[in-house]
Amino acid sequence: MAQALNTALREAMEEDERVVVFGEDVGALGGVFRITDGLAAAFGDDRCFDTPLAEAGIAGFAVGMAMGGFRPVIEMQFDAFAYPAFEQIASHVAKMRNRTRGRVGLPIVIRVPYAGGIGGVEHHSDSSEAYYAHTPGLKVVTPATVDDAYSLLRDAIDDPDPVVFMEPKKLYWSKSDSGRLSRTGPFGRAAVRRAGRDVTLVAYGPTVPVALDAARAAEEEGWDVEVVDLRTIVPFDDATVTASVRRTGRCVVVSEAAGFAGVGAEIAARVQERCFHSLHAPVLRVTGLDIPYPPPMLEHHHLPDADRILDAFDRLQRDDRPDTRHLTLGGAA
């Protein structure tokens, strides 16, 4: 995936001299994860360059360059490093087109390596997608496959408005079976990665491979699981998710982020609103715990895995009889 992202940047810079890349250590070093490797040598220090360790300044500089006609692609070195830039992103990047009554768009791509699974510590493993998804004016993209990483980044750079491009760090070393990179599909369209008839697993970014592992494991228990990869959180593909859940009658949402008030909660609410009369069981979530990101030796307890997803399947009332195990004495029982 890392090479696919590098190729997408390189091709965009070859095709459009207005595309510029900057951030911390993205120049001569090529970035911490080498996503920008070789770009400074190929295109010069004017188009791929290092910045001070000042994320708010990086985002603010990008706003100015975009207003001046450039198409900046900026890198926030790690997910939580982007928080100092959030004021620029929420107050200016996201609002400029609305503030100017459509006259000024900001074609900025904000690349954010995010999520866990690499043995990193806090500030290096956050799942921060909810902050951006909750901010009107931003598109939020997160690829789960090598081909989508290339295609969605090309689309993001072409977009006339700002895109937060969230790259699952643990998938940087993933490989493609296709052998060649090409455009896969536009923003706003989810992909059915595995067809099934019993339950829909909705996942995005780093949890898509986890969902596929769980689907394969569930076959031994007789479950036929459909896996939907959102590809983009904003815009959200209600049509694909709704069609799948109405067909299967059950839905489990999988995300690495903390469950409370997260993207998973929004997906569960949307499914509940649109598929209520098709549901045979409550919509469930399998998420990270509601805690700051744990130390590396404990992150496997925090991250959703196939076992936790299979446990969720056990609560889906497959026999369609009421499940009273989770009712309390003070509840409906």
pLDDT tens digits for the chain (333 residues)? 999 999 999 999 999 999 999 999 999 999 999 999 999 999 999 999 999 999 999 999 999 999 999 999 999 999 999 999 999 999 999 999 999 999 999 999 999 999 999 999 888 999 999 999 999 999 999 999 999 999 999 999 999 999 999 999 999 999 987 778 988 888 899 999 999 999 999 999 999 999 999 999 999 999 999 999 999 999 999 999 999 999 999 999 999 999 999 999 999 999 999 999 999 999 999 999 999 999 999 999 999 999 999 999 999 877 665 555 655 554 433
pTM metric for this prediction:
0.94
Cα dist from 103 to 106, 107, 218, 236, whole Å: 10, 13, 52, 25
Q: Kindly give the interhelix angle for 2-15 and 146-158, rounded to the nearest 10 degrees.
A: 30
The number of beta carbons lying within 10 Å of the beta carbon of residue 329 is: 5
Is 124 known to be catalytic? yes
Pairing relationship of beta strands 251-258 and 199-203 according to DSSP bridges: parallel
The DSSP secondary-structure symbol of 104 reads: -
Kindly report the backbone phi and psi dihedral angles of residue 191, in degrees, each rounded to the nearest multiple of 5, phi listed first: -125, 135
Which among 124, 134, 280, 300 is annotated as catalytic? 124
